[in-house]
Chain A
């Protein structure tokens, strides 16, 4: 019975001109999107390699210089682009790509791509994730909206029933017939992306297992969508109504709820403005140790403490340059302040995330979106991870420079200059993104919500169609 229904439905779908056209339009769009994304990915990667190399060269060839001047001169950490961004661009367009690493300051990533684009960019890009998340569910609706209503309208349902067909078996046959073409489309897309990526020179951290995880995520997403559309089709009498209802559900799930979530999140847990954030940091900094100010209260305390610790009477008797030592202490103190304030941002975001998760219980789009971005390493968490890694590198760099300053010079020797060859000794910045299993761990809640949707919608479909 299931096989018969499957065969009949597939044949019918294939004969339907609209479905064929829609299928080919989606296929064409996907091809264009993959082509554009590949080019974009290649470009960005080339720029990344070139920029990192150039920046390092500028750093290495500073010539003789005071280590602290070099610290102020600073260096840049550039964010790499990951292979699966080819499929899901995630929030990459809205996060900066380069972080300036300098003394005394933790900087945010600069240069948000969206700010260099016209307002059109806010409508969305023609990227594979746009097609996967929005267009294919629409295609599913187009294929599936009348699969049960048409039987009612033509009166064939009664015929089927008189043959002794069981409701859920018919529906399962139809279900597979709807799922089949879409899964082929998806399979071709993912396989070709995989082959494309593994054939790119310098394809970085691409792994087939991540690609597979992404594939499974979308498969589940589509299964949920098919269930929803079939539930609607089984519950109403007319095809037109079923179509309009399915479409309303689509727009609610994919457009309205995410926007509502974003509004709610911003309203309940707002970020400070950039200037406010800077002012808060400056306020905290003023209260503590400033490496450049030996007269503040905190500086005096540090002085006494250091003298006691080394059992000497004056700073010049210390075995190192106290000025540089104070610089380093100030740096450590400032790093703590930045840690505190950036942690506040993170807490705000994780609270916001709570709202997204709550609304994910009514919109399967949300967990899919988050999971897909996470696996593609284009989500906000990966950005935070990168930003934290850059900050750790900055702190290490400052220590490296200040220690050299303290060791090689005497108190008050501000004119000290490090050798021209010294800069090359600074280790390079190397960023390792979180692995797939780590990503899965941080996104457990999204996975659970998706599975609940998956099982829940199947159960509901079974009960609505048990006796058609």
Chain B
């Protein structure tokens, strides 16, 4: 029977041009999505590169000025912009602290349209002055991006629904079900076989078109074959889930229109409603403190600190005698007081800033715990992780870059407090930054989704529909 089914199904799908239509549609959707993703990644990399090149030119200029200074030549730079002043180097030659795109970044836009991919922390700037959000039109953020993740999560289920909603019902509606019932096969097994075959053809179409599209956009198969396999595995598991749902509704519901409504109901529930409900709940359970009120706190603190600058500097130097130990002049100027107060403000603000971090972390945890409620969410998270554009990745970038900003400041502090000049030879000691992606991606959730699908099949087989086979036919 399986052999007949296989042959008949193949002929049917080819003759009513399902396979052809599906392949073309998938090819167009994947093609457009990958094209968009690539555009974004290219723009991102180009921006970083421009910034790095800009820095290089500036470096060359500064080094030549430093060279002239050390040789005792005259330079045409105003006194407070002399590169021998450490604060000038620390502010004008700040590193391009960047987050390069993963080779798979084009798969999911994730949070990459919202956040910056590089910052340039200066020695006098504070953490709050670093802006991590990108300059984008908010309309764009509102509508989102047509990326591969969108095609997979939103559109693929609809293709599957259109492909499978009337498998059994159409037999009944065209009267062939009675013929079928006379065959020595259980209806459920027959539907399972039929849908299984459709699933097989769909997966084959997906794999082939996706690989062709990837090849067109010169994806490095040799270097990234594991990512490709993981991506395909995710797609297959997600597609399987929707086929299983289609199987269950085909068995339990008897008209094709009702089937379609039920499946679309699932789609709305999983793809549209549950993410927004979960988001709303996480916001209500772990509300973010107000940023505007935080500003008030920052301002008051800064105002107080400025009033007591001298005392702050004194106590700061008492705490950090190493900074000024080699200074024979012991002169103190604006920047000494400023840096000392900056540190104090940072310390005092820490609990306020941390509140935001911990709330976000709790929201994230909460959302993660319940994300299994929606397969769409599970897959979206998995794809974002694969692409390196999840909010975790950007949080990681924030942490690493802020740590670097501190390192950068710390590098210049002894120079400043010792009133020591910055020399050309100090240049090679400047700290450098390299971002490393955190590797804690697990496939546990995806496996969970797979398990869920198998469970539903089992459920359908064990739990017989109330009306017997006869009723199905009738």
Residues of A within 8 A of B (CB): 18, 29, 36, 43, 47-48, 50-51, 54-55, 58, 62-63, 73, 76, 78, 90-91, 93-98, 108, 110-126, 130, 134-135, 138, 142, 145-146, 238-240, 243-244, 247-248, 251, 255-256, 258-263, 265-267, 270-277, 279, 293, 295, 345, 348-349, 352, 356, 380, 383
Contact = CB atoms under 8 A, between A and B. Distances in A.
Interface stretch (B130-138, B183-191, B215-223, B466-474): B130-138
Given A47-B292, A94-B136, 5 more contacts: A29-B273, A51-B290, A108-B135, A122-B144, A240-B256
Contacts of B132: 115
A143 to B, nearest CB: 11
Contacts of A36: 280, 284
Contacts of B75: none
Contacts of B260: 240, 243-244, 247
Contact of B292 (A78, A244, A345): A78
A19 to B, nearest CB: 10
Given A58-B303, A240-B165, A111 B291 contact: yes
Interface of B: 32, 36, 39-40, 43, 47, 50-51, 54, 78, 110-111, 114-120, 131-146, 150, 154-155, 158, 161-162, 165-166, 169, 256-261, 264, 268, 272-273, 275-280, 282-284, 288, 290-293, 295-296, 299-300, 303, 307, 356, 360, 363-364, 367, 377, 380-381, 384, 390-391
Contact of A91 (B120, B142, B162): B142
Closest 4 CB pairs of A and B: A123-B275, A94-B138, A91-B138, A51-B292
Contacts of A248: 158, 162
A63 B276 CA distance: 48
B169 to A, nearest CB: 8
Mostly, the B contact residues are helix
A259 B150 contact: yes
Nearest to A240: B256
Contact of A117 (B78, B275, B279): B279
B346 to A, nearest CB: 18
B277 A126 contact: yes
B139 A116 contact: no
A98 B275 contact: no
Nearest to B117: A273
10 contacts: A108-B131, A117-B360, A125-B276, A240-B166, A248-B162, A251-B158, A263-B146, A266-B140, A271-B137, A352-B139
Given A124-B272, A349-B137, A352-B139, A98 B279 contact: no
A275 to B, nearest CB: 6
A405 to B, nearest CB: 19
Contact of A265 (B140, B256, B377): B140
B384 A119 contact: yes
Contacts of A274: 116, 131, 133-135
A120 B279 contact: yes
Given A115-B115, A124-B275, A265-B140, A51 B282 contact: no
A252 to B, nearest CB: 10
A378 B40 CA distance: 27
A279 B278 contact: no
B155 to A, nearest CB: 7
Contacts of B278: 120
Contacts of B141: 91, 94, 114
B261 A110 contact: no
B143 A239 contact: no
Contact of A271 (B51, B118, B136): B136
A262 B145 contact: yes
Contacts of A110: 131, 291
Contacts of B279: 117-118, 120-121, 123-126
A270 B51 CA distance: 17
B36 A62 contact: no
B138 A380 contact: yes
A118 B282 contact: yes
A113 B276 CA distance: 16
A293 B146 CA distance: 49
A377 B425 CA distance: 57
Contact of A239 (B47, B257, B295): B257
Contacts of B292: 47-48, 51, 78, 97-98, 111
B276 A124 contact: yes
Contacts of A348: 137
